[in-house]
Amino acid sequence: MKYLALIVPLLFLALFVYALIKRVKLYDCFTDGIKEAIPLLCSLFPYLAAMLMLSELFEASGLAAKLTSLLAPAFRFLGIPPEIAKLVLLKPFSGSGSTALLSEIFSLYGADSYIARCACVAYGSSETVFYISAVYFAGTKRKNLAKPIVIALFSNFCAVILGCFLCRFI
């Protein structure tokens, strides 16, 4: 797996060489991009904070443990660690909420644990289905969205099962 660490540095190297050939002012351009980081974070922060507070509350009330143990048999049957059940359930609704949950799983179980790796795959292989459906079809007259939404949710859930299976070997 050593060669995987090369991906990111090679990407940067290739792009920056290409950009120099294209006579892009590298420093100006790079800093221009970074400029957008703070507004981006500001637009996200309220949702992160609210979701993390909710998640803490949910945890402290003991309901999270109840939900996890309730779903555990079904998830375990499918090979998904029950610890990531919350993440799998939240992902279709909220991107920042699931980012918050992902970071929590990292600090709870360690970033290199099997559970954390499954969480990474569950997070990385799907998107916020309901958010995308709301935004993409908002400007159109399309009414019946049930079919595409069900297809997307089903495919994403299958990917989580596959991902957790793969994480045992790769």
Partner 1 sequence: MLLTAGGGFACPADARCASAGHFWEVFHIQSSVNGIFAIVFLISTAALLFLDPDGFLSALLKGGEKAATLSLSLLAVYCVWLGFFKVMEQSGLSQKLARLLFPAAKKLFRSQNKEAVYYASCNLTANFLGLPGAPTPLGIKAAEKFCAAREHYGADMLFVLNATSLQLLPTTVIALRLAYGSANSVDIFLPTLLATLFSTLLGGILVFLTRKRS
The residues in 84-123 that bind partner 1, with binding defined as CB under 8 A, are 93-97, 99-100, 102-104, 106-107, 110-112, 116-117, 120-121, 123
Total residues interacting with partner 1, rule: CB under 8 A: 100
Q: Given candidates 68, 71, 72, 159, which one binds partner 1 under the rule CB under 8 A?
A: 159
Termini Cα distance of the chain = 9
Among 22-30, 68-76, 77-85, which window interacts with partner 1 (CB under 8 A)? 22-30
If the CB atoms of residues 77 and 146 are measured against partner 1, the closer one turns out to be 146
Token couple for 57: 């509350």
> Inter-axis angle of helices 146-167 and 129-136, to 10 degrees?
150
Identify the three-state secondary structure at position 13. Answer: helix
* Cα 102 from Cα 124, distance rounded (Å): 10
The residues in 120-139 that bind partner 1, with binding defined as CB under 8 A, are 120-121, 123-139
Q: Given candidates 49, 65, 74, 78, which one binds partner 1 under the rule CB under 8 A?
A: 49
Query: According to the binding rule CB under 8 A, does residue 9 interact with partner 1?
Result: no
Residue 148 C-beta: closest distance to partner 1, Å: 5
If the CB atoms of residues 40 and 74 are measured against partner 1, the closer one turns out to be 40
CB distance 149 to 136 below 8 Å: no
CB distance 111 to 120 below 8 Å: no
Query: According to the binding rule CB under 8 A, does residue 11 interact with partner 1?
Result: yes
Identify the three-state secondary structure at position 61. Answer: coil
If the CB atoms of residues 72 and 145 are measured against partner 1, the closer one turns out to be 145
Token couple for 5: 């660490």
Identify the three-state secondary structure at position 23. Answer: coil
Query: According to the binding rule CB under 8 A, does residue 13 interact with partner 1?
Result: no
The residues in 51-80 that bind partner 1, with binding defined as CB under 8 A, are 51-63
Q: What is the largest CA-CA distance in the chain?
A: 59
